[in-house]
Amino acid sequence: MSRKCLYFAAMAMKPKKRKIWRVLKKFFLFILISHIAYILFCWVFNPPITLTQLGSLLTGHGLKRDYVSLSEMSPNARLAVIASEDQQFMEHAGIDWESIEKAYEWNKTHAKKRGGSTISQQVAKNVFLWQHGGYFRKGLELYFTFITEKLYSKRRIMELYLNVAEMGDGVFGIEAAARHYFHKSAKDLTRPEAAMIAACLPNPKVFTIVPMSKQVARRYPWILRQMNNLDDNGDIKQVINEPKPETRAEPKKEPETKPTKKPVKKRKK
């Protein structure tokens, strides 16, 4: 091919490259803006549907869920998931490096694997991402964990977790789980009932409550003991208990002073 042909071919390719580059820039800009908008949306509202919920629906496992506010969830449920999944929830900034290191050392020598994910990481995965996915998804999980910890309060993170976590085959959220297993609202869960639901979280399709699997039967008494140990933790109480309404101090009333009558001077006759 002559030099002129190569030159004209190169010139013809330049507009195509520019067009591809413009399309890629618009695509990445759209991804950036849309994911920031969705993060802000979930700051206030619950997600319309998550990828995990959608996958459960499409694969025939169904979708049972009923979003409720944190105030409509029993304090027992909040304490149970902290005791089961993340006892350092109030202390870490989203990632518990010590738990990750312990899980890594354990997994090197044991066939049964352990996870070191915090509740914040599980919210990042369940709300914004998908299950499994290897190191790529883990990298995105760390990014979304950092963002949610900076933007959301611990109470909001707990509320999202208890609404979107899978707690049975096709059962998502503490309200749906309470109604499915115990035929009551989440706000009425007892400590043992909350501990049973928390016991199924590592693998809700295998760790079943009805009928009770051996994993749940073994785990939930341990969770109850951990709940008792955490009862007096002041930091955890900030998430477990409802904040007391602020009462304005009424201004002190000054004692009423009755006007004194001036003495009436008698006229001299």
User: pLDDT tens-digit profile of 129-178?
Assistant: 998 878 889 899 999 999 999 999 999 999 999 999 999 999 999 999 99
Within the chain, where are the H helices?
A: 3-44, 51-58, 75-85, 97-109, 119-123, 134-151, 154-164, 174-182, 191-199, 214-230, 234-240
- Where helices occur in 171-233 by DSSP H, the ranges are 174-182, 191-199, 214-230
**Confidence at residue 38, expressed as pLDDT on a 0 to 100 scale:** 94
Beta carbons within 8 Å of 188's beta carbon, 6+ residues apart: 74, 178
**Per-position b or e across 49-60, b if 16+ CB within 10 A of its CB:** ebebbeebeeee
pLDDT of residue 269: 46
By C-alpha distance, which of 199, 123, 131 is closest to 154?
123
pLDDT tier at 251, thresholds 50, 70, 90: low
Output the average pLDDT for the chain: 86
The percent of residues in the chain predicted with pLDDT above 90, rounded, is 63
What lies within 8 Å, CB to CB, of 21 at 6+ separation is none
Alpha helices in 124-153 (DSSP H): 134-151
Query: Mean of the pLDDT values across residues 183-209?
Result: 96
Strands 171-172 and 64-65: parallel
* Residue 253 banded pLDDT, cuts 50, 70, 90: low
Largest CA distance in the chain: 142
How many residues are there in the chain? 269
Q: Is the pLDDT of residue 252 over 60?
A: no
Q: Which of 100-109, 243-252, 260-269 has the lowest mean pLDDT?
A: 260-269
pTM: 0.81
